[in-house]
Structure 1
Amino acid sequence: MAVPEPTYGDFLRLDSLLSLPRESPDVHDAHFFFTVHQAFELLFKIILYELDATVAAVAADDIAVAVHCLRRVRSVEDVMVEQVATLETISPGSYALMRRTLGGASGLQSVQFREIECLSGLKRKNLLATLRMSGAERRRLERRLAEPSLWDEFQRLRARRGNPDLVKLYRSKVPVDEVTVLAEAMLDHDEGITMWRARHVLMVERVIGNSAGTGGSSGVSYLRATCERHFFPELWELRAEL
């Protein structure tokens, strides 16, 4: 008997995927809230996949592939920025009801987002001590902290090419050198995450005001401070030298 060809739903494993969203009999918005955050995690997964490919491409001196992957990363980040606005359809009152069901769970505990930070170059020594996570998540994060980041591979690329002066390269009116083109694609990624952080701050402030956040954070004040965290601060700072 011939095996039936897989359907669209089979390819995407929709039975499993669509069974994931949680619902609450008491709060209508709970289904929406959980589904949107699951969608964010799927987008984080795409970014990690593309960043892994970027790091490998830079290590192999394949700048064209690295830039291509980073362009996709930035496109996904633009989607993330727009997606934040959907959460503002949750009223402050509705979120207050739903918040009671969250316990100590918080977006701050997203290990995939911390992996994005580490893989990009933002590695904080106390990260493992401050996050609540499963054993499998801890092992993933330990690996990310130990492996070369995009910034590490960018520095190795520069070394292989004789450590060119980035300030001199940036003085070109049209950046065509591969190192500069890659650096700008990296900044696009850095900027995309910063824009997402900033948009997230406004959404949280609109929903909970200056209340403390879940997971033990101080809320808006903490989130606003994270907007100052750049993956590649050296690339931002060199502009002052042009």
Structure 2
Amino acid sequence: MEPGIERDFSAQMSYGDYLRLDLLLSAQQPQSDPPQHDELLFIVQHQTSELWLKLMVHELRSARSLLASDELSPALKRLARVKHVQHVLTDQWSVLATMTPSEYALIRPFLATSSGFQSAQYREVEFLLGNKNADMVKVFSHDPAARAELDGLLREPSLYDEFLAYLARHGYDVPPALLDRDWSQPYRLSPELVDTFAAVYAAPEEHWGVYETCEELVDLEDNFQEWRFRHLQVVQRTIGHKTGTGGSSGVDFLRRALDLTFFPELYEVRTRL
């Protein structure tokens, strides 16, 4: 111990105080009876995922706000951070995959009807990225705060909507119907917007900021799809084709999600080049 190291925290803030570790480390409350060794893994995996999702929501909200105020560079900084968070979330699936089907079967009954499908923060991320679905909000009728948060995001422009508004303000050809629409409805591909992005990709050095943003958004979507695919793989290797605890079809439900896209024009434009 060096002489200058703090030892007395009776009147000072400690590491545990700042992080509220008393609350954080007491939040793992296994339900299995008799106790099952692997339940702690399952709980920690999902609680840490929720913490990373909280940070993603924070960063995506900020990026959206920065785009709305024409601050492109700091918005890209936020998106770069989100991409790193996505990598952490995807890598975490390998930890959960160490649980074998027989080990999971011992704790599954104690999950009752709880399911990751019911993660409000995951839905917030999807809504911020543009995958809007009013039916998803109804799942949170039991939680007024979560429902209000999702309902607000449902009716607000997504990150992509704000990017398109940014483009229009800076002289790019964006169909007016995309700038004044019902934000609660899912976004649909616009052939005219593909033409606009084709011009950007044809001369990236002339449109570098916009070009870079397009590629950052593609990275986000690629990472999201990778997360979805790893989720599907872990579920399939753990429960096969059983129905999910929340009532979904399980693997088949997750596989259909792989067809969803946030930024359709940014993929369609590749066909034009």
Scaled by the length of structure 2, the TM-score of the pair is: 0.84
Q: Note the aligned Cα RMSD (angstroms).
A: 1.7
Listed one character per residue, the Cα deviations across residues 139-179 of structure 1 (whole Å, up to 9, x for unaligned) are 11111111221011011011101225210111236685211
> 1:51: Cα distance to partner?
0.3
Identify which of 189, 193, 196 aligns with 2:227. Answer: 196
Identify which of 93, 113, 116 aligns with 1:84. Answer: 93
Q: How does 1:14-93 map to 2 (within 5 A)?
A: 14-23=21-30, 24=32, 25-93=34-102
Structure 2: any 5+ residue segments left out of the alignment? Answer: 1-8, 174-195
Identify which of 210, 230, 233 aligns with 2:264. Answer: 233
Q: Distance in 2 between matches of 1:28 and 1:193?
A: 31
> 1:180: Cα distance to partner?
1.4
Contact 1:104 1:216 in 2 (8 A): yes
Contact 1:53 1:66 in 2 (8 A): yes
Listed one character per residue, the Cα deviations across residues 16-48 of structure 1 (whole Å, up to 9, x for unaligned) are 100001223431111110111000000000100
Q: Distance in 1 between matches of 2:92 and 2:153?
A: 27
Task: Out of 94-103 and 121-130, give the one that drifted further.
Answer: 121-130
2:18 matched residue in structure 1: 11
Give the percent of matched residue pairs that are identical in Structure 1 and Structure 2: 39
Is 1:178 the counterpart of 2:209 in the alignment?
A: yes
Structure 1: any 5+ residue segments left out of the alignment? Answer: none
Identify which of 138, 141, 146 aligns with 2:150. Answer: 141
Contact 1:22 1:35 in 2 (8 A): no
> 1:117: Cα distance to partner?
0.5
Q: Distance in 2 between matches of 1:5 and 1:16?
A: 19
- In structure 2, give the amino acid aligned to 1:159: A
2:105 matched residue in structure 1: 96
4+ residue segments displaced more than 6 Å: none
- Structure 1 residues 44 and 221: CA distance shift in structure 2, 3 A: same
Is 1:113 the counterpart of 2:144 in the alignment?
A: no
Q: Distance in 2 between matches of 1:38 and 1:211?
A: 24
Contact 1:175 1:181 in 2 (8 A): no
Identify which of 214, 218, 226 aligns with 2:245. Answer: 214
Q: Distance in 1 between matches of 2:134 and 2:261?
A: 16
Partner secondary structure for residue 11 of structure 2: coil
Partner secondary structure for residue 214 of structure 1: coil
Contact 1:118 1:149 in 2 (8 A): yes
Contact 1:209 1:220 in 2 (8 A): yes
Q: Distance in 2 between matches of 1:19 and 1:54?
A: 33
Identify which of 151, 154, 159 aligns with 1:150. Answer: 159
Q: Distance in 2 between matches of 1:30 and 1:54?
A: 36
- Aligned residue pairs: how many? 241
Scaled by the length of structure 1, the TM-score of the pair is: 0.94
Q: Distance in 2 between matches of 1:175 and 1:204?
A: 45
User: Which structure ranks higher in relative contact order (CA pairs < 8 Å, sequence separation ≥ 6)?
Assistant: 1
2:181 matched residue in structure 1: none
- In structure 2, give the amino acid aligned to 1:129: K
